[in-house]
Amino acid sequence: MTLTGVYVPLITPFDASGGVALEALTALVHQALDAGATGVVALGTTGEPAALSDQERREVLDVLSSVCRERRAQLLVGANSVEALRALGERPEVTAALCLVPPFLRPGGAGVLAHFGHLAQASPVPLVVYHVPYRTGQQLCADDLRLLAGLPGVVGIKHAVGGIDADTVDFLADIRPDFAVLGGEDQFISPLLALGAHGGILASAHVATVDFVELIALWHAGDVDGARRLGHRLAALSAALFAEPNPAVIKSVLHAQGRIPTAAVRLPLLPAGTDTTRVALQRVDELRNVPR
């Protein structure tokens, strides 16, 4: 199984009473899949899982499992412990678990490798490593990444290192055929695809799913000029959507589009500002008005 294409890490919409708006969440999943997404991510950081109760997390996962089963779509689920992974064995719809490199501890490359080896042995589903060093504090070199890619049960990586560095170039030059590299840094997805990435886990795809699907198709087809043009426009959109802590701006845009009942986020996040939302909506309009 090689993961490829666009995966939308879904927000958790809230209603006017502050509860999870499950109907709006259901609609968002269908919209993403209708627009060509390969699948969705449940309970990733974009979904504010730490701010949800256990019951709310179960309800979110129930909704996404049901839709993905109905649509035969891929479902990735954020899970970072043996206990959370084992619970996924009760959900046959789950394609893989998205597992964060251990944050804060900085155990070194060998510690990270041992950690994922332990998780993979215990997990009933394959793992996708989430590597985001500017959040976790743990850097991994190209050799570390190759060793992770060689672990049984590890099928991919969400690669979000803040740009394109030397280790990224080195790593992408030598990837085993059945291991997926999924870009997780929305602004840099186009150059990452140019270097050989298979797809992306892209929060910006909430508002431009069709366009990110097209971008991946253009790079995979070798249409360099078309991919570059679209990639520049999508990078500008992503910059606007991440101008404040994610997913505040995305939620504000979705609310302005009438797709979710409120733009609310939960603490410690704060709602996006009016000016930031205006710029993001302008970027969406610009993307729609450029001739293909």
pLDDT 10s digits, 89-106: 999 999 999 999 999 999
Burial of 228 (0-12, 13-18, 19+ CB in 10 A): middle
Catalytic residue among 7, 134, 158, 251: 158
Q: Taking 90 as the threshold, does the pLDDT of residue 289 lie above it?
A: no
Across all residues in the chain, what is the average pLDDT?
Answer: 97
Active site residue 7: no
Q: Taking 80 as the threshold, does the pLDDT of residue 291 lie above it?
A: no
For residue 260, what pLDDT is reported? 98
Query: What are the strands, taking DSSP E only, across 85-151?
Result: 94-100, 127-131
> For 247-267, what is the mean pLDDT?
98
Per-residue CA distances from 249 to 81, 207, 243, 246 (Å): 30, 11, 7, 7
Active site residue 251: no
Tell me the one-letter amino acid at 125. V
Tell me the one-letter amino acid at 100. L
Q: Is 45 helix (H, G, I), strand (E, B) or coil?
A: helix
Tokens read off for 196: 């050989």
Measured CA to CA, the distance from residue 180 to residue 5 in angstroms comes to: 10
> For 185-189, what is the mean pLDDT?
98
Task: Sort strands 94-100 and 39-42 into parallel, antiparallel or unpaired.
Answer: unpaired
- What residue segments make up the domains of the chain, in order of their start? 5-221
Measured CA to CA, the distance from residue 189 to residue 132 in angstroms comes to: 14
- Domain 5-221 fold is TIM Barrel (3.20.20)
Q: For residue range 27-36, what is the model confidence (pLDDT) as tens digits?
A: 999 999 999 9
Tokens read off for 214: 């097209």
Catalytic residue among 7, 130, 134, 251: 130
> For 215-233, what is the mean pLDDT?
97
For residue 1, what pLDDT is reported? 66
pTM confidence score? 0.96
